[in-house]
Structure 1
Amino acid sequence: MGGGRSDPRCLGGRASCPLPQLCRRDLGPAGSPQALRRRRGPLARAVSFVLALDVGSTSVKGALYDARARLVPGTLARAPSPVRPVAGGAAEGDPAELVRRVDRVVDRVMAAAGRRAGRVRAVGLDVLSMTFCGVDGEGRPITPLYTYADDRAQPDVAALSRELDAAAVYQRTGCPLHTAYVPARFRWLRRTHPRLVRSARRWLDAGTLIHRRWFGRDVPVSYSVASWSGLLDRRRLGWDAELLAVLGLREDALPPLSDYLQGPRGLGRAYARRWPALAEVPVFLAVGDGAAANVGSGCVDPRRLALTVGTTGALRVVLPGGEPAVAPGLWAYRVGRDETLLGGAFTEGGSVFAWEREVLRVPGPARIEAVLRRLPPDGHGLTVLPFIAGERSPGFSSGARACIAGLSSATTPLQIVQASLEAVSYRFALVARLLRPHLHARHDVVASGGALERSPYWTQLMADVLGEPILVSREEELTSRGTAILAWRALGKWTSLDDVDLKLRRAGEPDPRRAEVYQAAIDRQRRLYAQVIGG
């Protein structure tokens, strides 16, 4: 949830070298030592590397990074995630299969590393957050891996809201009562599968499960991943006692808590044989993928706001300290012990466009992009609530459903696509208003995610709707880059999260006339929301 994952069906289709300086031809004498050194490039001469693993909702990726957080060409490996939506509102995966896919990605990265494998100093890990599964006494999964996209716990959100002071829970944990978070989903599981709950010895998230399998022993969960669960008291940095009591969940059934900087060493025997170069290096505790994305995009303080649109979306800022007040519509998670990630996340993103491509049978992305650029802003007479998978920020209405108002016989499929992309952008604008008091007066908006990377139209639309320039990085795999940076900081090689600044370029400038049109459309969407969903 923290994060905005890419979807290959989204707009556009360009690709770029993540390190263009390594792609230039060597113009010197082909056989000279100087030419050979130049051809090898700076990464070939790097002294040490970290292995960064990005375990997301759509894919598992891994790569080596040098001490300047540059991806080592040829080491990137990926595999599809086993997490999939299931009929009836479920969204779950096979936890054992997830670990196997992570293992295979590590196999491929280490094979690609060659002689450099012996210079890997640590492993960093980011994971899709808000997951949990039950394990037996040996750490073997006995339940599916339940994820944030599962909305079967809607009745349990209502029940918890009656049983608890919802506002107090919100401020203690930084999370509202919602189906995306563990409290409601655990209550649903206990209500619907009581025997399964009784048979589980412990409850682990995806990252802690991976550590448990690799080391063969219990390992803590980071404050970062725990903060995404909705069970962490962010002021005490302990599991929330009231929530555990209401849920009938023992504290010793959850992992102990620690900063991600704790890096267990000493892989289990089978894994030490499989990856001898990693057998005694620290494997740092997992962090939330949204936290890693912020760090990787250079958004590590109130001077930069991270805008991510992939399959889903997010808008986030890193703040010093751990206890800012959380305005309704936002959430507050942790990066490390001493940094808060404040923001909002959206179920709607590139998934809306992908769904409409399938349902409306519109042309390919390149043709759509060309047509959308010619259409006037908000010129279709439509008002859209884009909640094809429920709502997270800012209304947190898990039961919300999509709505299109204003359809007529003259409405075209591409107008519906345009209105939907505008509607998704309006949700970001509402969260941006809530975040503005926490931002530096002169801040930048840094965009990432496949949906925006592939669509100059949508990037410009975001600039117009937010009324701010949009900056992008030429680098790819920013989430993995952030995980690498966090690993280097844990090793003491980086003293801060921005020792090496990320080069950015402007990708969209707001047009005042279009911005005015969109502000009126945002107000119209808010009125429709109040009529259809309430609030």
Structure 2
Amino acid sequence: MAASWSRAPTRSCWPGAASTPASTPVSSWSWTSIKTTQWSVPTVSQESSPLILTIDVGTSSTRAILFDAQARPLPGHVAQRANRLETTADGGAVFDAGHLLENVVAVIDQILDGAGPLAHQIGAVAMDTLVGNLVGLDAQGKPVTPVFIYADTRNAADAQALRQELGPEGMAASHNRTGCLIHTSYLPARFRWIQRTHPEWLQAVRHWTGIGEYILQEFLGQRCMSYSVASWSGLLNRFELTWDAEWLDRLPIREEQLFPLGDIDQPLQGLRAPWAERWPALDRVPWLPAIGDGAAANIGSGCDDPAHIALTIGSTGAMRVVVDPGLERVPEGLWLYRVDRRRALLGGATTEGGNLFAWLRQTLQLPEPGELEAALAERVRRQDASGHAVDHGLTVLPFVAGERAPGWREDARASLVGFTLHTDPIDIVQAGLEGIAYRFALIYRRILPHLGEWRNDHQIIASGGAVLSSPAWLQILADALGKPVLTLVEKESTSRGLALLALEQLGCIRRPSALPPETGATYLPDPLHHARHQEGIARQEALYAKLVASRSGAFHGGS
């Protein structure tokens, strides 16, 4: 039997739910009541101990995991299928919707088959997906387009045309209304590209939605898009929590073509045929509307308030913090997404991260990882005989795949300046890792003024395979940011975040951080090297101004 929800639904995407006007204030959350400076003691309701089934639809794979009521994965109850991304030389990046649906079905089958009688203890199903994706459905709810993802850049010309069409004031207004900038990863430019290159799709499509919403409609026969997923589209009015009327007036779509909006406390329930017969243990279990993978990762990392900033570096990177959604203005160069109606996610993402580190290792034919790490560790804290930090003299713009936050220049390219005959490969790698750290320092500077009373009393929690594999890089980040960096041991932070949100909705925990994640080493900043890195950041900004910002073309992000 499914446990009951702790709050009643408040909008109409769940059949039978009460309706709340879209203008209901969303800024009433009191941060004072939830201040934390240290992790709290785990507490779980003793009245029920449900299991949570999580489904993570990512770029590389689809994963399903069973978690217990303390947000711990059950050993052996993990299923994974590789996702097949199709890319083209002109910048295309799409999935086949049927392929992703098959993968979700396969991992659910595997989990339920392996769970046996435990399957009947599942109290909720929670899903996240990669965000910024789009698929068109016909009148029968079947896909008639590929699933376009955020990495598809064929709409670059359309993004640039929108910037020119709106002008600086219009772009600033849109940024503040939606929390998103004009960029290829968001839907305004995607719809303009569809209008320009595939107008036949506009005639064939009845509804436009995301892959998670399509899958849940297939299973449950209900249409709903969470505020979380919608906030990554560039079309959600963050003040009214409605589809943005000004953008709809500019785009070749109508509001009724988009899925109704709702929140994670509005479960979908009641599988339709043939899924009810296939998965009887899930038939009457509540399914949370899908949320964005970044939101789930933040929650799973223990970063559910302004006292904890998540810093993630895999192939690419992101820095995010949960803040009050009533923020008056979105900071220049950052985005503002949603976890739900009560929690916003402020931050910025980078196109560079472990991808640059891997390219440097391969191109420069560097030593084995252990030897390279030892060499980097020695250099990041070098001092001369007088006790001064030793600098390699290099400045790197790390834009191997264009730039996102904070400048949002799609045309930016990587640069290395300052090398001499005495520069060696380790110097270049160090400068590259520092160059990425400096982009995070610029994002961090923009976040700090919005932490309120936590501005000087917060933690930075680092996760991601690329950065956790390099203690030297973690030390560079701590020194560049001037703040201790705490490492995350949890391996399944995104899926864990889903489990925590489901447990919160079931009333098992008051808030996600009631069950803190496992953490590891802390890297402390050194004042001497922090000062050196501030000089390095200034050099990078000066180089950026000369090589990137001074060029005409793509919009330099801001509001």
CA distance in 2, matches of 1:374, 1:445: 24
CA distance in 1, matches of 2:423, 2:518: 42
SS in 1 for 2:274: helix
Provide the residue aligned with 2:425 in structure 1: 413
Provide the residue aligned with 1:197 in structure 2: 202
187-196 or 175-184: bigger deviation: 187-196
Provide the residue aligned with 2:540 in structure 1: 525
Query: Residues 198-236 of structure 1: CA distance to partner in whole angstroms, max 9, x if unpaired?
Result: 222211112111112222x24110000000100000111
**Contact kept? 2:391, 2:532, Cα under 8 Å:** no
SS in 1 for 2:194: helix
Which of residues 280, 283, 295 is equivalent to 2:284? 280
Q: Give how far 1:410 is off.
A: 4.3
Q: Give how far 1:498 is off.
A: 2.1
Q: Give how far 1:157 is off.
A: 1.7
Instruction: Give yes or no for the alignment of 1:307 onto 2:304.
Output: no
SS in 1 for 2:281: helix
Change in Cα spacing, 1:144 to 1:368, as seen in structure 2 (3 Å) is: farther
Q: Give how far 1:141 is off.
A: 1.5
**Contact kept? 1:86, 1:92, Cα under 8 Å:** no
SS in 1 for 2:63: strand
Q: Give how far 1:147 is off.
A: 1.1
CA distance in 1, matches of 2:467, 2:492: 14
Provide the residue aligned with 1:366 in structure 2: 370
Which of residues 237, 241, 246 is equivalent to 1:242? 246
Change in Cα spacing, 1:409 to 1:273, as seen in structure 2 (3 Å) is: farther
Query: Residues 268-315 of structure 1: CA distance to partner in whole angstroms, max 9, x if unpaired?
Result: 212223222112211110111111111111111111111111121111
Instruction: Give yes or no for the alignment of 1:425 onto 2:437.
Output: yes
CA distance in 2, matches of 1:202, 1:414: 52
CA distance in 2, matches of 1:511, 1:296: 29
CA distance in 2, matches of 1:326, 1:72: 40
Instruction: Give yes or no for the alignment of 1:474 onto 2:479.
Output: no
CA distance in 2, matches of 1:247, 1:313: 30
Provide the residue aligned with 2:273 in structure 1: 269
Give 5+ residue unaligned stretches, structure 2: 1-43, 382-389, 550-555
**Contact kept? 1:448, 1:472, Cα under 8 Å:** yes
Query: Residues 402-458 of structure 1: CA distance to partner in whole angstroms, max 9, x if unpaired?
Result: 222234454433332222111111100000000011220211111111112222111
SS in 2 for 1:498: helix
- What TM-score do you get using the length of structure 1 for normalisation? 0.88
348-357 or 234-243: bigger deviation: 348-357
Provide the residue aligned with 1:154 in structure 2: 156
Which amino acid letter does the alignment assign opposite residue 548 of structure 2?
I
Change in Cα spacing, 1:357 to 1:92, as seen in structure 2 (3 Å) is: farther
**Contact kept? 1:382, 1:405, Cα under 8 Å:** yes
CA distance in 1, matches of 2:246, 2:380: 52
Which of residues 321, 333, 339 is equivalent to 2:343? 339
**Contact kept? 2:94, 2:148, Cα under 8 Å:** yes
Q: Give how far 1:78 is off.
A: 2.0
Which amino acid letter does the alignment assign opposite residue 439 of structure 2?
R
Which of residues 52, 60, 63 is equivalent to 2:62? 60
CA distance in 2, matches of 1:499, 1:398: 40
Q: Give how far 1:516 is off.
A: 1.4
Aligned residues, how many?
A: 490
Provide the residue aligned with 2:38 in structure 1: none
CA distance in 1, matches of 2:326, 2:128: 20
Provide the residue aligned with 1:12 in structure 2: none
Change in Cα spacing, 1:188 to 1:358, as seen in structure 2 (3 Å) is: farther
**Contact kept? 1:218, 1:255, Cα under 8 Å:** no
Q: Give how far 1:503 is off.
A: 4.4
Query: Residues 62-87 of structure 1: CA distance to partner in whole angstroms, max 9, x if unpaired?
Result: 21111111111111222222235432
Provide the residue aligned with 1:391 in structure 2: 403
SS in 2 for 1:447: strand
Matches within 5 A, 1:283-298: 283-298=287-302
Provide the residue aligned with 2:392 in structure 1: 380
Provide the residue aligned with 2:24 in structure 1: none
CA distance in 2, matches of 1:399, 1:281: 47
Which amino acid letter does the alignment assign opposite residue 64 of structure 1?
L
Matches within 5 A, 1:66-105: 66-105=68-107
SS in 1 for 2:249: helix
120-129 or 314-323: bigger deviation: 314-323
Which amino acid letter does the alignment assign opposite residue 124 of structure 2?
A
SS in 1 for 2:525: coil
CA distance in 2, matches of 1:184, 1:238: 19
**Contact kept? 1:151, 1:398, Cα under 8 Å:** no
Provide the residue aligned with 2:446 in structure 1: 434
CA distance in 2, matches of 1:61, 1:412: 42
CA distance in 2, matches of 1:125, 1:324: 30
CA distance in 1, matches of 2:145, 2:489: 41
Q: Give how far 1:363 is off.
A: 3.5
Matches within 5 A, 1:309-328: 309-328=313-332
- What TM-score do you get using the length of structure 2 for normalisation? 0.84
264-273 or 340-349: bigger deviation: 264-273
Provide the residue aligned with 1:34 in structure 2: none
Change in Cα spacing, 1:301 to 1:47, as seen in structure 2 (3 Å) is: closer
**Contact kept? 2:490, 2:519, Cα under 8 Å:** no
CA distance in 2, matches of 1:414, 1:101: 42
494-503 or 342-351: bigger deviation: 494-503
Instruction: Give yes or no for the alignment of 1:500 onto 2:502.
Output: no
Q: Give how far 1:515 is off.
A: 1.4
Q: Give how far 1:462 is off.
A: 0.9
374-383 or 156-165: bigger deviation: 374-383
Instruction: Give yes or no for the alignment of 1:174 onto 2:179.
Output: yes
Q: Alignment RMSD, CA only?
A: 1.9
Matches within 5 A, 1:26-37: none
Which amino acid letter does the alignment assign opposite residue 320 of structure 2?
R
Provide the residue aligned with 2:384 in structure 1: none
Which of residues 143, 146, 164 is equivalent to 1:144? 146
CA distance in 2, matches of 1:132, 1:187: 13
Q: Give how far 1:499 is off.
A: 2.2
Which amino acid letter does the alignment assign opposite residue 443 of structure 1?
H
Provide the residue aligned with 2:50 in structure 1: 48
SS in 1 for 2:499: helix
Which amino acid letter does the alignment assign opposite residue 373 of structure 2?
E
Provide the residue aligned with 1:457 in structure 2: 472
Q: Give how far 1:258 is off.
A: 0.4
Q: Give how far 1:54 is off.
A: 1.5
SS in 2 for 1:307: strand
Give 5+ residue unaligned stretches, structure 1: 1-41
Q: Give how far 1:119 is off.
A: 0.6
**Contact kept? 1:234, 1:323, Cα under 8 Å:** no
Query: Residues 228-281 of structure 1: CA distance to partner in whole angstroms, max 9, x if unpaired?
Result: 100000111110111111112111111010012221112221222322211221
